Amino acid sequence: MRMWLGLIGLLSMCLLTGCWDRVELTDVSLIKGVGIDRIDDGTIEVTVEVAVPQAQSQGGSEGGAALGSGGLMKVVTRSGKGKTISGALEHIQEQLPRRIFWGHSEVIVLNEKLVKEGIREQIDYFIRDPKTRIRSYVFVTKEKAKDVLSLQTLLYSPSEILWDMAESKILMNVTLVDLLQMLDSGDVAIPMVTKVPPPKGKKPNETTAYIYRTAVFKKDKMIGSINDELTRGLMWIRNEGKETQVALLPEGEKGYISLNLLRRETKLVPKIKGDKWEITVKTRTKGAIVANETNIQVKSPEEIKVLEKQLAKQIEERLNRTVQKVQKEQKADVFGFGEAFERKYPKKWREAKDKWDEIYPQVDVKLDIDATILRIGAGTATTKR
């Protein structure tokens, strides 16, 4: 009996020797970002931003350095061409002494020319490959994706900067998972990035990139874009984003009253009456005054009520402009109206979904907006009605 117990103990110790399939950082090339461009000859060029852990004492690097948890990360870019993404990546792997590792990938940047042809085929590789990180953020750029990932930035790499901007949720952010869900349910919206003009005396690539517009897709093809203001309207209707600020210009005043909108909630309420489809965008927001450049002393409930009405009107105007551009002109359902109708009227939706492209531009959109000012500044709470 003791012999058997001893044998079992020895076998158990063998199973506690560690992770047999773990990946050492020193054995891999960490992909931080990937960019995809369409070349005129019909091929695809894939560019990867590679980070290699370095000791802090090793100084500069070919592509710059980014801060990592274990010290400096040597950051370089490598490009490869092919008929497919996988073929282009094989050419990149030939240039790297270490095996490509996708576990730390942060962003995917797609060139506008490419996505106007269709995006589903291009992201199919990243969705199917189990090694890729499906939480990577996706962006579109008018410039070459290769140029965006090759920017010479300080401290942080281009991918890290774009990741942080997406995480801030000031404008839209879309992960691979989000993109797949949008493609399965309807039309698509993806944030766009461009380069900041370089400071005087600097080279064209000695700058950084930032999010500045939103690309709008009909199905999987890009058909246009919207600016920052309409993007915030889109996010409002989709019930996305964090805090935002608005500036009110009261009648007869030269200065502005700025408010920080602390909380907001939007619900889509669909309704079908016979052949008429309508949807109410019901939004509630609460804000605080953070700056007052006017002569108005915001103290009384009456003054606050006037500002709340003006705030609601300004929000309504922005949402109306967004609906006019996206629904009426671009005819792309990036608001999620179709999903709202499907949830409430599943049977009716099954009968009408094949005609949704015809129905959607005719849907009557109503706005129900309520704005409340909670604080008037200096930590003074208002007397709410």
Give residue-wise pLDDT tens across range 285-298.
998 888 888 888 78
Banded model confidence at residue 8, pLDDT cuts 50, 70, 90:
low
C-beta of residue 190 within 8 angstroms of C-beta of residue 99: no
CA distances from 327 to 17, 163, 336, 349, 372 (A): 60, 29, 11, 19, 28
DSSP string, 33-49: EEEEEE-TTS-EEEEEE
**Secondary structure element (H or E) that encloses residue 212, with its range:** strand 209-218
Q: Is residue 277 predicted with pLDDT exceeding 80?
A: yes
d(CA 38, CA 10): 58
> How high is the pLDDT of residue 356?
95
The structural domains of the chain, ordered by start, are: 25-226 (no CATH), 229-385 (3.30.300.210)
H-only helix segments in 238-375: 301-323, 337-344, 346-352, 356-359
Which is higher by pLDDT, 54 or 362? Answer: 362
Banded model confidence at residue 261, pLDDT cuts 50, 70, 90:
confident
> How high is the pLDDT of residue 294?
82
**Secondary structure element (H or E) that encloses residue 119, with its range:** none
Banded model confidence at residue 16, pLDDT cuts 50, 70, 90:
low
* Mean per-residue pLDDT of the chain: 85
Give residue-wise pLDDT tens across range 348-371.
999 999 999 999 999 999 999 999
Model confidence, pTM = 0.84
